[in-house]
Amino acid sequence: MRYLPLTTDDRRAMMAKIGVSEIDALFRDVPKGAIAPLSAFNLPDTQGELEVDRAMSKLAAKNIAAGSAPTFCGAGAYKHHVPSAVDHLTQRSEFLTSYTPYQPEIAQGTLQYLFEFQTQVALLTGMEVANASLYDGSTATAEAVLMAQRVTKRSKAILSGGLHPHYAETVDTVAGLFGEMKRAPVTPGSAEDIIALIDEDTACVVVQSPDVYGLIRNLRPIADAAHAKGALLIAVVTEIVSLGLLESPGAQGADIVAAEGQSIGNGLNFGGPYVGLFATREKFLRQMPGRLTGETVDAEGRRGFVLTLSTREQHIRRENATSNICTNSGLCTLAFTIHMTLLGEEGLSRLARLNHAKAVALADRLGKLKGVEVLTPAFFNEFTVKLSKPAAAVVDALAAKGILAGVPASRLGGAADLLIVAATETATDDDFAALEAALNRALA
């Protein structure tokens, strides 16, 4: 087996040193009969690279990759162009095959990029501090609600109807164990009156902007109303590129920002791994979940970085920790950081403007089609259309023609006639024309 360096002779010599004559002598504590014969596992035997490559490639070929078709799917995961340098750098052995930087003297590479990542996230979200990432946007949102429960010592959360339904369910599954998770009703394309739902028992209000239907929300009045009742505002962002063009949640009064960072540096990967961004105000620092990297000095006075404030974490505090999280999204944060470094201020601004321009152009074109009504008045790179036929059937029909037309709202528990459509920098005029023509036929 090509990955196993020990030879039969090595094994024999090692067993002699140990003083056993057969390998199962080392498994003597396993209860009698619990060592299964190889035949008990109905699975294939060792295969070479070529055979594995062939088998896996055959499965991969049965899918429609976003880059191989006109693609308008969004709803929490976005197709963007990732510069070639990003993947090249993240595949460096020293990043790819290292572990959590528990030995900072030989992990400054990881620690320094995490410090850069925390700074980038804080700047983008307009917050004071950010952690070294959580699993993804949905779990970051759940952690944010739990943190709000700790900070306010209240249990109820109010979830905006425009919050991605998968996020709402993730929050409900975890934070719902400790209090009511009240979901506001939603009218796609318009803002619900969430302020009316805030009361003295409310720990936090969770509002996504742009929301799952693409609508941009003004968070300021919600933040003010929440603060007036002693509650926190948690702002959720699923398309982080939007912050290159939109006012940051921090500038609108958010107390915690939970976001999905996939759009920067990371591929679609059929839903994971992604990277959860988590930022807040300095005053809540010690209630934060997840890893934090901090600056310090070494014994010679040189700047260096370490994991810090770990007395919040499970390996020290055990059942009193702020979260059970142990890992972060290491390599995905690296991809995010490198891509964001390549973009810089100007690149991010251009990318965001390009996305918005594409989406505006597409919305205007689709709005002219018979049987299509654009519902979202203010949006970034994604909007919702009402179709004259069930959206899921339309999407299936277009997929058969090699077009990924968007995400039917019904897939997320929404209305049958709604289609969520995203247009990023990767969409071309030809893609627009193909979607237009195919929709025309499907709705005729």
Partner 1 sequence: MAMNNQGRPSDAGAGAGQTSGIVTISGDRGLDHEEKLIFELGHGAVGVDLPDVKIADDRLGGMRRKGAVGLPGLSEPETIRHYVRLSRKNYAIDSGLYPLGSCTMKHNPRLNEKMARLPGFGDLHPLAPASATQGALAMISELMKWLTVLTGMPAVAMSPKAGAHGELCGLLAIRAALEARGEGHRKRILVPESAHGTNPATAAFAGFTVDEVPAKPDGHVDADALEAKLGPDVAAIMLTNPNTCGLFEPRVKEMADAVHAAGGYFYCDGANFNAIAGKVRPGDLGIDAMHINLHKTFSTPHGGGGPGAGPVVLSERLAAFAPLPLLVHDAKGFRLIETRAEAPEGAQPFGRMCAFHGQMGMFTRALSYMLSHGRDGVRQASEDAVLSANYILASLKDVMSAPFGEGPCMHEALFDDSFLEGSGVTTLDFAKAMIDEGYHPMTMYFPLVVHGAMLIEPTESESKESLDRFIHVLRTLALEAKTGQTARFEGAPHFAPRRRLDETLAARKPILRWKPAQLQEAAE
The residue within the footprint of partner 1, chosen from 150, 182, 229, 350 (CB under 8 A), is 350
Residue 356 contacts partner 1 per CB under 8 A: yes
Q: 422, 381 in Cβ contact below 8 A?
A: yes
To the nearest whole angstrom, how small is the minimum distance from the Cβ of residue 433 to partner 1? Answer: 20
Residues 6 or more apart from 373 whose CB is under 8 A from it? 367, 385, 386
Residue 2 contacts partner 1 per CB under 8 A: yes
The residue within the footprint of partner 1, chosen from 186, 236, 237, 334 (CB under 8 A), is 334
To the nearest whole angstrom, how small is the minimum distance from the Cβ of residue 12 to partner 1? Answer: 10
To the nearest whole angstrom, how small is the minimum distance from the Cβ of residue 386 to partner 1? Answer: 18
Task: Convert 184-221 into a string of H (helix), E (strand) and C (coil).
Answer: CCCECCECCCCHHHCCCCEEEEEEECCCCCCECCCCHH
* Residues in 22-61 at the binding interface with partner 1, rule: CB under 8 A: 23, 25-31, 34-36, 38, 40-49, 51-53, 55-61
Site stretch for partner 1 (CB under 8 A), options 14-22, 151-159, 198-206, 431-439? 14-22
Q: 151, 287 in Cβ contact below 8 A?
A: yes
Backbone φ and ψ of 92, nearest 5°:
-60, 135
- In the chain the first and final C-alpha atoms are separated, in Å, by 59
The residue within the footprint of partner 1, chosen from 162, 189, 244, 261 (CB under 8 A), is 244
Q: 421, 387 in Cβ contact below 8 A?
A: no
Residue 96 contacts partner 1 per CB under 8 A: yes
To the nearest whole angstrom, how small is the minimum distance from the Cβ of residue 440 to partner 1? Answer: 19
Residue 67 contacts partner 1 per CB under 8 A: yes
Residues 6 or more apart from 428 whose CB is under 8 A from it? 70
* Residues in 368-387 at the binding interface with partner 1, rule: CB under 8 A: 377-380
Q: Which helix (H) or strand (E) holds 260?
A: strand 256-260
d(CA 121, CA 278): 8
* Residues in 69-88 at the binding interface with partner 1, rule: CB under 8 A: 71, 73, 75-77, 79, 83, 85, 87-88
To the nearest whole angstrom, how small is the minimum distance from the Cβ of residue 290 to partner 1? Answer: 11
Q: 135, 181 in Cβ contact below 8 A?
A: no
To the nearest whole angstrom, how small is the minimum distance from the Cβ of residue 161 to partner 1? Answer: 16
To the nearest whole angstrom, how small is the minimum distance from the Cβ of residue 158 to partner 1? Answer: 19
Residue 347 contacts partner 1 per CB under 8 A: yes
Residues near partner 1 (CB under 8 A), total: 209
* Residues in 188-227 at the binding interface with partner 1, rule: CB under 8 A: 209, 215-216, 218
Using CA atoms, how far residue 284 sits from 120, 148, 228, in Å, is 19, 9, 18
To the nearest whole angstrom, how small is the minimum distance from the Cβ of residue 182 to partner 1? Answer: 16
* Residues in 256-315 at the binding interface with partner 1, rule: CB under 8 A: 260, 267-273, 275, 285, 291-306, 308-309, 311, 313-315
Write out the DSSP string of 338-372. Answer: HHHHHHHHHHHHHHHHHHHHHHHHHHHHHHTSTTE
